[in-house]
Structure 1
Amino acid sequence: MPELVFPLDSSKRFTEQDIVGHNRWHPDIPAAVTVRPGDVFRVHCREWFDGAIHNDDSADDVRDAPLSTVHVLSGPIAVEGAEPGDLLLVDIVDVGPIPQEDSGPLAGQGWGYTGIFPKQNGGGFLTDQFPDAYKAIWDFRGQTATSRHVPGVSYTGIVHPGLMGTAPSADLLARWNRREGALIATDPDRVPPLALPPLPQDAVLGSLSGAEFDRVAAEAARTAPPRENGGNQDIKNFSRGTRVFYPVFVPGANLSMGDLHFSQGDGEITFCGAIEMGGFLDLHVDLIKGGMETYGVAENAVFVPGNVEPRYERWLAFSGTSVTLDGEQRYLDSDLAYQRACLHAIDYLSRFGWSREQAYLLLGSAPIEGRLSGVVDIPNSCATVYIPTGIFDVDVIPSAAGPTRIDPGQGAPHSSF
């Protein structure tokens, strides 16, 4: 096993660990550990809510989830010799649930969860159609996930970290705060909000304390969106074997990671759309000196995806265009087109006996493929969602016999405000 540089004890909360990570981005959060170019090492990661979501049949924990606490990240990890302008090469050597723990109260101990977040607490891609909280618990057996809350399906997960990135420079952080603050100002009372400004409440900033903690907490960026440093990109193909090239903005690069997923569909459309879990990452790092200028990678990571995707041979695809549910035409709105494709898939699957909420949870967590299929023909863009037919216990291809109805079981737990 590679050297464990960032250990976590499952019996302790994130803030009680021997090495404390962070849940905000800021250049002045001190590195927790240092590694060298060429090193291979192991990092433990907590589930993004640090145990706030439980393996039960209630969605109250999703409804009341403490968004101010996320994401709990392992790091920062400094890479010796890294300087601004370099590219940090990161290989995902291995990734998985909490090692040697196949049962227990924490997501990653033999199980994980998917949540539809309520509109009043985070929302999601289809929050206007699904404004309440729902949850599905998924059990792991090897690489396969099944759920008592979404019966009739099982699938192979593409295990990956939803979040990994380098620390921003002070200038880059200031740009984030300016542009996101300007966006919020256009509609400050929107629910859910247009962006998440710095929030000192519940900030975890590694080893910082006192006045320095207070200063950084007031400036630090939330970890929810992806940005130029990588961050919460939620790319399902960041699997074992992936090689990522991150821009370096501060000395040491200060790499951090977390938000591990057992599986996810393209878009993570329910907000907590993946199967969330804690676990481990084995990483190899190296440097390309001056690589940002050499390759023109001044912002946002580039990567070579891993090659461990499940083998599904047949797919059922749904399309959508940029027309709203009430018939308003939008100009090449690919986001809307993907929403409509997903809604068509949800409506279709409901004909087989799954509730619309069960279908929505499935699209968020299963290895679906989302694509921009046409962005050239005005005024309609076309987006598509591909669902592997092999994940279902029944044949979901249209036929003259009509849909085979499944038993939806107890359904997905539901809570409303």
Structure 2
Amino acid sequence: MPELLFPLDSSKPFTDQRVIGHNRYHPDIPPAVRVRPGSTFRMHCREWFDGAIKNDDSAEDIRDAPMSKVHALSGPVGVEGAEPGDLLIVDVLDVGPLPQEDSGPLAGQGWGYTGIFAKSNGGSFLVDRFPDAYKAVWDFHGEVATSRHVPGVSFTGITHPGLMATAPSPDMLARWNRREGDLIATDPDRLPPLALPPEPRDAVLGSLSGSEFDRVAAEAARTAPPRENGGNQDIKNLTRGTRVFYPVFVSGANFSVGDLHFSQGDGEITFCGGIEMSGYIDLHLDLIKGGMETYGVGGNAVFMPGKTPPQYSEWLAFSGISVTEDGQQRYLDSQLAYQRACLNAIDYLTRFGYSPEQAYLLLGAAPIEGRFSSVVDIPNACATVYLPTAIFDFDVRPAKSGPVRIDPGIGAPRAAGT
């Protein structure tokens, strides 16, 4: 096992750990640990809400999830010799949940969860159809996930970090805050909000304290969206074997990782759409000096996906076009087309006995493939959702005999009052 550089005690909150991570971006958050180029090491990662979500049959914890606390990130990792303009090479050697059978403070949970977030607390990709909070808890059996809340399915996880990032420069941070603030100002009372401004409440900033903590907390960017530094991209294919090239914007790069997922469908469409978990990740870091200029990588990370995804070969695919549910035509709106493809898949699965919420949670957690299939044929973009048929315990394909009705079990827990 590689050297463990960032240990976490699962029985303690994020702020009570021996090494404190962070949940905001700012160039002045100091490194928690330092490594040399060419180093290999292991990091533990907390579930993104720092243990606020429970293994139970209520979705009240999803409804009341403390958005100001996310994401609980391990790091920053300072890399000796890294300077602005370099590319940081990040190899994902291994990633997974901590084994449940381990005893002591580092014991694994053996489970994770998927949540549909309420419109009043973050919302989701399909928030107009699903404005309330729901939850599914998934049990891990080796590499396979099952859920008492979504019966009749089991699938191999495509385990990956939802978030990896370098730190922004002062100028980049200012640009983020300015452009996102301008967007918020166009509709400041919108639910869900258009963006998340700096929020000092619940900020975790590593070893900073006193007046310096207060200054940084007032300026630091939230970690919810992906940006030029990588961040919360939620790319399900960043599995073991992945190599990512991140732009470096500050001395030391200050790399961080977190938001581990046992599995996820393309788009993480329920907002908390992957199977969120605590776990470990083994990394190898190196540098390409001056790589941003050499390869023209200045705006966003470039990556080579891992070669070990689940090997599903048969799919049932659903398409959608850029026309709203009430029949309004939109011009080449690929996002709307993907929403309609997802809704078509959900409506189809309800014919087999699932509730719409169970079907939605399944699409967020299972390794579905999402594609923009046509973006040039005016006025309709076409998007598609590929659902692997092998994950079902029954035949989900259309047949002359009609759909097989399954027992939906206890269903997906819904939170009252959302």
Does residue 333 (structure 1) correspond to residue 333 (structure 2)? The answer is yes
Q: CA deviation at 1:104?
A: 10
Contact 2:114/2:273, CA 8 A, preserved across alignment: yes
Q: CA deviation at 1:366?
A: 0.2
Residues of 1 paired with 2:61 and 2:288: CA distance?
44
Contact 2:71/2:258, CA 8 A, preserved across alignment: yes
Partner of 1:223: 223
Q: CA deviation at 1:245?
A: 0.2
Q: CA deviation at 1:225?
A: 0.2
Residues of 2 paired with 1:105 and 1:136: CA distance?
25
Pair 1:409–1:106, CA change in 2 (3 A): farther
Q: CA deviation at 1:32?
A: 0.5
Amino acid at match of 2:405: R
Contact 2:98/2:106, CA 8 A, preserved across alignment: no
1:376-391 alignment runs, 5 A limit: 376-391=376-391
Amino acid at match of 1:317: A
Residues of 1 paired with 2:105 and 2:322: CA distance?
43
Three-state SS of the structure 2 residue aligned to 1:409 is coil
Does residue 115 (structure 1) correspond to residue 115 (structure 2)? The answer is yes
Contact 1:332/1:378, CA 8 A, preserved across alignment: yes
Q: CA deviation at 1:107?
A: 11
Number of equivalences = 417
Q: Residue by residue, what CA displacement relative to the aligned partner does 1:297-318 show, whole Å, maximum 9, x if unpaired?
A: 0021000000111111110000
Amino acid at match of 1:208: L
Residues of 2 paired with 1:333 and 1:103: CA distance?
51
Q: CA deviation at 1:109?
A: 1.1
Pair 1:120–1:11, CA change in 2 (3 A): same
Q: CA deviation at 1:11?
A: 1.4
Contact 2:43/2:281, CA 8 A, preserved across alignment: yes
Residues of 2 paired with 1:412 and 1:120: CA distance?
19
Amino acid at match of 2:12: K
Residues of 2 paired with 1:393 and 1:72: CA distance?
36
Partner of 1:201: 201
Partner of 1:290: 290
Residues of 2 paired with 1:101 and 1:119: CA distance?
38
Pair 1:340–1:200, CA change in 2 (3 A): same
Partner of 2:303: 303
Pair 1:102–1:150, CA change in 2 (3 A): farther
Contact 1:321/1:381, CA 8 A, preserved across alignment: yes
Q: Residue by residue, what CA displacement relative to the aligned partner does 1:148-167 show, whole Å, maximum 9, x if unpaired?
A: 00000000000000000000
Residues of 2 paired with 1:205 and 1:309: CA distance?
34
Q: CA deviation at 1:100?
A: 5.4
Contact 1:104/1:110, CA 8 A, preserved across alignment: no
Provide runs of 4+ in structure 1 moved above 4 Å. 99-108
Contact 1:54/1:105, CA 8 A, preserved across alignment: no
Does residue 354 (structure 1) correspond to residue 354 (structure 2)? The answer is yes
Partner of 1:233: 233
Partner of 1:280: 280
Q: CA deviation at 1:408?
A: 0.1
Residues of 2 paired with 1:28 and 1:329: CA distance?
47
Amino acid at match of 2:345: A
1:92-103 alignment runs, 5 A limit: 92-99=92-99, 101=101
Q: CA deviation at 1:101?
A: 4.6
Partner of 1:77: 77
Q: CA deviation at 1:191?
A: 0.3
Residues of 2 paired with 1:241 and 1:108: CA distance?
23
Three-state SS of the structure 1 residue aligned to 2:337 is helix
Partner of 1:267: 267
Partner of 2:157: 157
Residues of 1 paired with 2:18 and 2:162: CA distance?
24
Contact 1:107/1:277, CA 8 A, preserved across alignment: no
Contact 2:99/2:110, CA 8 A, preserved across alignment: no
Does residue 254 (structure 1) correspond to residue 260 (structure 2)? The answer is no
Partner of 2:316: 316
Partner of 1:68: 68
Q: CA deviation at 1:103?
A: 8.9
Residues of 2 paired with 1:267 and 1:377: CA distance?
23
Taking structure 1 as the reference length, the TM-score comes to: 0.98
Three-state SS of the structure 1 residue aligned to 2:96 is strand
Residues of 2 paired with 1:379 and 1:175: CA distance?
34
Does residue 22 (structure 1) correspond to residue 22 (structure 2)? The answer is yes
Give unmatched runs, 5+ long, in structure 2. none
Partner of 1:186: 186
Residues of 1 paired with 2:278 and 2:249: CA distance?
28
Greater Cα shift, 407-416 or 366-375:
407-416
Q: Residue by residue, what CA displacement relative to the aligned partner does 1:99-146 show, whole Å, maximum 9, x if unpaired?
A: 455699999510000000000001000011000000000000000000
Amino acid at match of 2:56: D
Q: CA RMSD in A?
A: 1.3
Taking structure 2 as the reference length, the TM-score comes to: 0.98
Does residue 5 (structure 1) correspond to residue 1 (structure 2)? The answer is no
Residues of 1 paired with 2:59 and 2:156: CA distance?
25
Partner of 2:245: 245
Q: Residue by residue, what CA displacement relative to the aligned partner does 1:309-352 show, whole Å, maximum 9, x if unpaired?
A: 11111100000000001111000000000000000000000000
Residues of 1 paired with 2:293 and 2:233: CA distance?
23
Does residue 407 (structure 1) correspond to residue 401 (structure 2)? The answer is no
Contact 2:100/2:107, CA 8 A, preserved across alignment: no
Partner of 1:42: 42
Contact 1:51/1:107, CA 8 A, preserved across alignment: no
Amino acid at match of 1:247: P
Three-state SS of the structure 1 residue aligned to 2:280 is strand
Give unmatched runs, 5+ long, in structure 1. none
Amino acid at match of 1:409: G
Residues of 2 paired with 1:376 and 1:326: CA distance?
23
Q: CA deviation at 1:12?
A: 1.1
Partner of 2:142: 142
Three-state SS of the structure 2 residue aligned to 1:371 is strand
Residues of 1 paired with 2:199 and 2:14: CA distance?
19
Residues of 1 paired with 2:105 and 2:35: CA distance?
32
Greater Cα shift, 20-29 or 8-17:
8-17
Partner of 2:367: 367
Residues of 1 paired with 2:104 and 2:387: CA distance?
31
Contact 1:263/1:274, CA 8 A, preserved across alignment: yes
